[in-house]
Every structure is written in C-alpha cells, then in structure tokens.
C-alpha cells in the first residue's frame, strides 16, 4: 500500500497524519536517503507543523543521521537548498493549498527532486511496520539537530537574481496566503525598485490559505483594481503555486501564464523542442493557442511530479498546471510561485503591454470543475456505475469536448472536469456526472459502513 498521494503523505493533522507517522517517516528517510549526509526539514506556517517537525526530527536523528532545521520555507526553497548545499535529502511539512486542519509530508531526494514511486512504496512499508526490525544506533552515534535557518538566505539571493532593472516601473501586489512565502516574498521583491504592496503576510498559525492566496484571489483582485496596480500575484501555503491577477481584476491562471511564457521563450529560442508540458486539465484554449504558434502541448496525469518527469524525459524547459504550478525545467526541478511571478513580471515590463492584453491570447473553452465529497474517492471512480457514466459523457462529447473524472490526490474528493465549446453541453454533462457519482459514493460508503445508512 502506498501512503503517498500525488504530493506526498497528506491528511488531517493529529487524525490521519499523526506524529507516529512523521516519526516513522523520519526513520525511513534517515536509513535510506543518501547515507552519511544531513537531512533538512522545512515547514509552512500552520499550527500543526511544530509537533510534526519534532516527531520527524526525532525519527531522523534516531537513525544516526543529522537533521538541519530550516524553519519556515517554501517547498521549492527546500528543494533548492537540498541541491545547493549537497544534502542527503529533505522533508517539507506542508499541506500546500489545503485548509488549516490538513498537513502533509513531502520527501525530496539528494537531487532536490521528489522521491520515486518505488521509494514511496518502501517508505510506506516502513511506516506501516512491514519492513521488519530496524537496527538503530546508541550513544554518540545518535544524530543531532541543528539550526539551518541561515541557509535560507541563499534561496532568497537566488530569486533576487531574477529581478531586472527594466521591471522597476511596475506596480505590483503580492498575496503570500499567510504561508511559507510571507517573510520571504518581501525580501525577494525588495530588490525591485518599484511599488510593491504585500497582503496576507502575517501568519498566526491558523490563517494560512484562509480566504486568500492562489485558491481565493478575490481579495487580491480588489486590491489591484482599487490601487490601480499593473498586476497581482498570489501564492499558496507552501509557495509552489502562482496565480496572477491583471489590472482589471481578472484571474490569470496557470494556462494563461504558460501561454504567455511559452510565446516569450519561443521568441527568444529558449523553449526546448517548441513544446510545453501540461496536464489533462489544461484548457483546450491553451492547446489551440500554442498550436497556432507552432508549439506542441503534451498532456500528463494531474500532478507536478508527472509534469516534471515528462519534461526531463524530453528535455523540455516549460511545463505546469492550470492551478499555478509552473516549472522552468532549466532553472529548478520544482514549481516555484515566486520565480513564476518574477518571470511573468519581466515579460510584462518588457512587452510594454498590459497583463490583460498579454493573457487575451488564450480564448478558454467553457470548462467547469466540480468536486464530490466521498470517503473513498479512489474506489468510487472505478465503480462500474461511475465508469459507465463517464463513457456515456465521453461519447456525447466525442470530437467536441473532454471529460476527466479522477480522485483527488490530497483530499477526500472526486474531481470532475467537463470541457466543450458549448456551455450548455458542459452544464448538462456536469449535472449528470455529479448526480451519478454522488449517488454511487453514498451507496459505496453505506456498504462499507452500514451504520451511516
């Protein structure tokens, strides 16, 4: 059984994700990731990070490995730090864009990349106690934990290197989601001699992602329009996503960002293979625009890990997700919200055009995303009744649209996406699928737990 979803181990802290799990993962990491080198640990700003951090570090040091405590840092910042300082690996404690009550554990190998599925399975067996007795050190061979917060400055300087003089005239609003980027974003953007306003940079342990950040950009949009700013950038809880807002308050999602960056990179001969790697969720409008520019869109399953794998397989330099994970493969092996915003700001400044004009290149096809809550999303999507409903809709949409039904990799949800050039068709298909899946999920949950029926 693999305990890892699309983005690490995740669940409600102290219920699904316990200190025991964190401790055992720490031992697995300590025993198997690049022996002899320290393991770094980072975290976002949610209240449960402290207890999970203590358990994780205890697990790492119990194996004789040293742990370096980076404190609050973004997920891409941890990835960068592992690679920059040639560490044995790293673990990020974060549930990214999820609500406060969730937390997660993301593991990175010595190259700063997420561990393989094979390693995930090994670590899962160890966490579940299926790997046998562990041989642990005693006495002076036990590991130590040290303060590594000073190492984070290297990551800040790395990002500041993408601030260019031509960007100085921009007026920007940055929303840090009261998350990992809250104290880092001001340090990075300070290098820009311009008008930058920061909102939601005051984490208190319980306000991460709360009505702010990349999943709730309405407040950012209001601030941009009210102040007459050129653009706004919203990060998520762990800083690996970026969603933009144009000067009119329109949300510019990952599809638009990839279109703008792909066009610019192709014009400067920096788009390897004239290819962009996206996911099955990428809007048809993005694909049509890229095609008109002679650029190919490759689609992968949902998850930045799958995007990165395809990018590295083909040597491509740009990929990402509609949700705002944008990967510049020639720079970092991870999506980085701050890096994305800096790259987009540079294109905006150089173009002499407004962000709304730049983003108008993509004409999104009507696309609706809805969620159905259920206890067992992976099982529900494979039920015969659900499969038949998906086949029926796929046949109806053949040649004119797409349907994607998948389990969430981070929450107890089934996600439904329907896309077509006809909005009425999208609405009809969404309502049908949502009804069928909700009914099938209730029946499945009742069979598994008769007491709820």
Region of residue 58 (phi > 0: left; psi between -120 and 50: alpha; otherwise: beta)? alpha
Residue 360 annotated to the active site: no
Active-site option among 62, 94, 96, 214? 96
Q: Which residue shows structure tokens 């993005």?
A: 286
Positions marked catalytic: 96
């Amino acid at each position: 059984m693999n305990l890892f979803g699309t983005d690490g181990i995740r669940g409600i802290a102290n219920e699904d994700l316990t200190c025991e799990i964190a401790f055992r993962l720490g031992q697995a990491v300590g025993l198997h990731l690049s022996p002899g080198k320290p393991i770094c640990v980072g975290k976002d700003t949610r209240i449960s990070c402290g207890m999970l951090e203590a358990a994780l570090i205890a697990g790492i040091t119990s194996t004789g490995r040293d742990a370096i405590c980076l404190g609050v840092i973004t997920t891409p910042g941890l990835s960068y730090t592992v690679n920059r300082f040639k560490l044995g690996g790293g673990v990020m404690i974060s549930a990214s864009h999820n609500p406060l009550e969730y937390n997660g554990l993301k593991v990175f190998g010595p190259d700063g990349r997420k561990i393989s599925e094979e390693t995930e399975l090994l670590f899962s067996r160890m966490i579940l106690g299926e790997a046998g007795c562990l041989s642990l050190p005693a006495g002076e061979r036990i590991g130590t934990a040290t303060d590594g917060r000073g190492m984070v400055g290297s990551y800040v300087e790395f990002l500041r290197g993408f601030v260019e003089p031509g960007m100085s005239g921009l007026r920007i609003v940055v929303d840090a989601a009261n998350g990992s980027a809250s104290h880092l974003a001001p340090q990075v953007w300070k290098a820009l001699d311009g008008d930058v306003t920061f909102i939601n940079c005051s984490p208190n342990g319980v306000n991460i992602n709360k009505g702010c950040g990349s999943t709730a950009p309405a407040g950012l949009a209001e601030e941009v329009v009210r102040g007459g700013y050129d653009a706004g950038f919203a990060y998520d809880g762990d800083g690996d996503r970026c969603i933009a807002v144009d000067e009119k308050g329109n949300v510019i999602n990952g599809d638009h960002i990839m279109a703008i960056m792909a066009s610019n990179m192709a014009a400067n001969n920096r788009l390897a293979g004239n290819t962009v790697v996206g996911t099955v969720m990428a809007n048809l409008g993005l694909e049509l625009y890229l095609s008109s520019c002679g650029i190919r869109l490759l689609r992968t399953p949902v998850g930045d890990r799958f995007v990165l794998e395809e990018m590295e397989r083909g040597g491509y330099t740009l990929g990402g997700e509609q949700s705002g994970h944008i990967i510049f493969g020639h720079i970092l092996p991870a999506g980085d919200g701050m890096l994305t915003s800096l790259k987009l700001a540079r294109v905006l400044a150089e173009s002499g055009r407004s962000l709304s004009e730049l983003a108008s290149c993509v004409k999104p096809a009507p696309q609706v995303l809805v969620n159905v809550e259920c206890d067992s999303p992976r099982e529900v999507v494979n039920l015969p009744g659900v499969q038949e409903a998906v086949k029926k809709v796929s046949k109806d949409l053949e040649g004119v649209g797409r349907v994607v039904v998948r389990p969430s990799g981070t929450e107890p949800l089934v996600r439904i996406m329907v896309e077509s050039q006809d909005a009425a068709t999208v609405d009809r298909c969404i309502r049908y699928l949502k009804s069928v899946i909700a009914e099938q999920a209730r029946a499945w949950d009742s069979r598994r737990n008769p007491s709820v029926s």
